[in-house]
Amino acid sequence: MRDFREKLDQIVSPKRDTSRNLLIGTWNLKAFASLTERWTARSEDSPKRDWRGLWAITEIISRFDVIALQEAKGDLKALRSLLKTLGRDWQFLMTDVTRGDAGNGERLAFLFDARRVSLSGLACELVVPDEQLQNIAPDALQRQFVRTPYAVGFKSGSETFVLVTMHVIYGDKPKERYPEIKAIADWMSEWALQTTEWEQNLILLGDFNIDRHGSDLWQAFASSGLTIPSFLDDVPRSIFASKAHSREKYYDQIAWFETTSDDRRLNMNILNGGYIEFVDQFYTDLNLTKSQLQHRISDHYPLWVEFECRE
């Protein structure tokens, strides 16, 4: 455990109150629901997520000021245990369970360190207007999002920022994801023009189920000017993607508008960021395969970005 803490110290920037920084993360925590109350779950135990896996998750999350979680489920046992371990300074907001088979019984959640981040007052789900759903173009969104994007406003120092998180439908074929990805990109483009008028920063993060960098799905995501920082270009998103093939399984993103001449651009300076590797750090005594490990921690790596905040 000490080795992993030391590794995190080297990977993630420390939280600073002088020359204030802001650490934002996103993580798809596979089927984050119940918990086996053992340090190490046995072969006959269900679920396989145990205290050891939850310790790893908690240690990672504690490094951020605010993190968006995808795939929280109806059963909140693991989430409640996580929050108790983080302590009373941590708070959360989340959606209700998404009904229907395609929604997979999932919630979207934000966890935040209330010593460093406060709520600014906004919390909403993004619903598509009826007029937009009447678009008959073949790639247009013609129904509501399967899992409604969730937006929450936060404040840190003098910076106000709105985080929008979503988990795009996976579907049977990649083309089924296109309408949702394109619709949220267009929505963000329009909304960013409004939020920047009030010096609010708009950031989109979550699991977009983009098959690979440069694909049609990636082009739909980037079509409205959404940009990810260069240091996230080549980091793996999935534990099943090697670093050499990091632009495949390009699911998770943290993005914003940043063109210098663009009225939608961020007001905050970007300092650092990356991902957190955990595969080789845990359960080495059990020789678990990645397919087994995903049920104890996750099949996705967490992504993070560090911003500079005005006092």
Q: Which of 5-19, 129-143, 295-309 has the highest mean pLDDT?
A: 295-309
145 vs 129, higher pLDDT: 145
Per-residue pLDDT averaged across 278-299, rounded? 96
Identify the pLDDT of residue 280. Answer: 92
Identify the pLDDT of residue 135. Answer: 63
Identify the pLDDT of residue 253. Answer: 97
- The percent of residues in the chain predicted with pLDDT above 70, rounded, is 92
Radius of gyration of the chain (CA): 19
58 vs 132, higher pLDDT: 58
- Beta strands at 90-94 and 106-113: parallel, antiparallel or unpaired: antiparallel
Q: ∠27-29-33 over CA atoms, to 5°?
A: 145
**For the chain, what is the mean pLDDT?**
91
Identify the pLDDT of residue 136. Answer: 45
Kindly report, residue by residue over 37-93, the tens digit of the pLDDT.
Answer: 999 999 999 999 999 999 999 999 999 999 999 999 999 999 999 999 999 999 999
Residue ranges of alpha helices (H) inside the chain are 2-11, 51-61, 77-86, 130-133, 178-195, 216-222, 290-293
Q: Give yes or no for a contact between 249 and 285, defined as CB atoms under 8 angstroms apart.
A: no
Q: Give yes or no for a contact between 153 and 160, defined as CB atoms under 8 angstroms apart.
A: yes
**E strand or H helix at 154, and its extent?**
strand 150-156
To the nearest 5 percent, what fractions of the chain are helix, strand and coil?
Answer: 25, 30, 45
Instruction: Return the minimum-mean-pLDDT range out of 70-74, 173-177, 249-253.
Output: 173-177
Identify the pLDDT of residue 99. Answer: 83
Q: What is the domain partition of the chain in residue ranges?
A: 2-308
Per-residue pLDDT averaged across 126-137, rounded? 66
Which residues, including other chains, have CB under 8 Å from residue 261's CB and lie 6 or more apart? Answer: none
Identify the pLDDT of residue 264. Answer: 75
Euclidean distance between CA atoms 196 and 193, whole angstroms: 6
Looking at domain 2-308, its CATH superfamily turns out to be Endonuclease/exonuclease/phosphatase (3.60.10.10)
188 vs 94, higher pLDDT: 94
